[in-house]
Chain A
Amino acid sequence: MYDIIPFDSIAVGDRVSVSKTVTEADGALYIAATGDFGPVHIDDGYAAGTRFGKRLAPGIMVAGLCTSVLTAELAGVLGVSIRDEFWFTGAVFYGDTITIDVWIVERHPETRTLVWEASARNEAGTEVLKAHATLKYPRPKSA
């Protein structure tokens, strides 16, 4: 985990899968860190009146799990994110266990960039988030 993986060692089709239960505490720490006190995340009464029926975990926190898995388990520490695109396709409730699949879809040696995608599903198999993003690698140090 958190390996130094050269750009040339990563291939299209490489993939990993990691699961995590998203808890109330995770949300509280994220909300405290960002100051995102949107009522759908923090107000039971408000959330009960929405189509979701109860409070939601912040979607961008779940998106953060994708980049965490990417760096820790798949693409290594050399690449830096230069563009991330997320689709929030389903609700994530506190207590849901989310399985995150991350894989490499494109490799561009001319720009030293990788394009990766991710899909996050809940226990029922519903996709709650997907991602399409670009990682840029530094030029190798000349000898």
Chain B
Amino acid sequence: MTPPSETTPEIGARIAFRKTMTVAEQAMFTGISGNLGPLHVDAVRARAAGAPGMICFELAVAALATTCLNRLGGPQRRIGRLDLRFSAAIPVGSTVEAAAEVLRIAGEAVICRVVCTLDGGSAVIEGEAELVPLGIGG
């Protein structure tokens, strides 16, 4: 992984980040979000619903992509927009590769394509992100 860019990235620049989504990610994201949705914390209910076990929090998986986005955007940009489609449930224990690629530059903003792929499998999250200047509020 390359260090965060201090300047505007090139169109086509791409960064990927892989991680196995374990019960540890699940437990910590429960703590972060407060979400105790049965599909995410109850293996019995998840199996009854047709899943192989507990299902990853969608935003916890998408969070892997923010690592790539922040690297591409550099320290002077934050995420201003995320537009993602979650096409399939992701079982806990899955290894996911998140990737972000610069599609175009719009003034100060950087627009990226985001794809999260199951290890050896299909894309499970796809969409776009916009990285914008810091713009402190208040």
Tell me the A residues contacting B by CB distance below 8 Å.
Answer: 18-21, 23-26, 28-29, 95, 97, 123
Whether the Cβ atoms of A19 and B45 lie closer than 8 Å is: yes
CB-CB under 8 A from A95, the residues of chain B are: 43
Tell me, yes or no, whether B41 is within 8 Å of chain A by CB: yes
Whether the Cβ atoms of B23 and A25 lie closer than 8 Å is: yes
Tell me the B residues contacting A by CB distance below 8 Å.
Answer: 22-28, 31, 36, 38, 41-45, 54
Whether the Cβ atoms of B27 and A29 lie closer than 8 Å is: yes
The dominant DSSP class at the B interface is helix
Question: When the two chains form the complex, which single residue of B23, B36, B42, B45 contacts A24, counting CB atoms closer than 8 Å?
Answer: B23
The 8 closest A-B pairs by CB, nearest first: A25-B27, A23-B23, A25-B24, A21-B43, A25-B23, A97-B44, A19-B42, A26-B27
Of listed A19, A24, A28, residue having the most chain B CB within 10 A: A19
The dominant DSSP class at the A interface is mixed
- Nearest CB to that of B44 among chain A residues? A97
Whether the Cβ atoms of B42 and A23 lie closer than 8 Å is: no
Listed A/B pairs (28) with beta-carbon separation below 8 Å: A19-B38, A19-B42, A19-B44, A19-B45, A20-B36, A20-B41, A20-B42, A21-B42, A21-B43, A21-B54, A23-B23, A23-B26, A23-B27, A24-B23, A25-B22, A25-B23, A25-B26, A25-B28, A26-B23, A26-B27, A28-B24, A29-B27, A29-B28, A29-B31, A95-B43, A97-B43, A97-B44, A123-B44
CB-CB under 8 A from A97, the residues of chain B are: 42-44
> 9 other contacts beyond A21-B41, A26-B27, with CB at 8 A cut-off?
A19-B42, A20-B36, A21-B42, A23-B26, A24-B23, A24-B24, A25-B22, A25-B27, A123-B44
CB-CB under 8 A from B38, the residues of chain A are: 19
State the Cβ distance, A81 to closest chain B Cβ, in Å: 20
CB-CB under 8 A from B23, the residues of chain A are: 23-26
CB-CB under 8 A from A29, the residues of chain B are: 27-28, 31
CB-CB under 8 A from A25, the residues of chain B are: 22-28
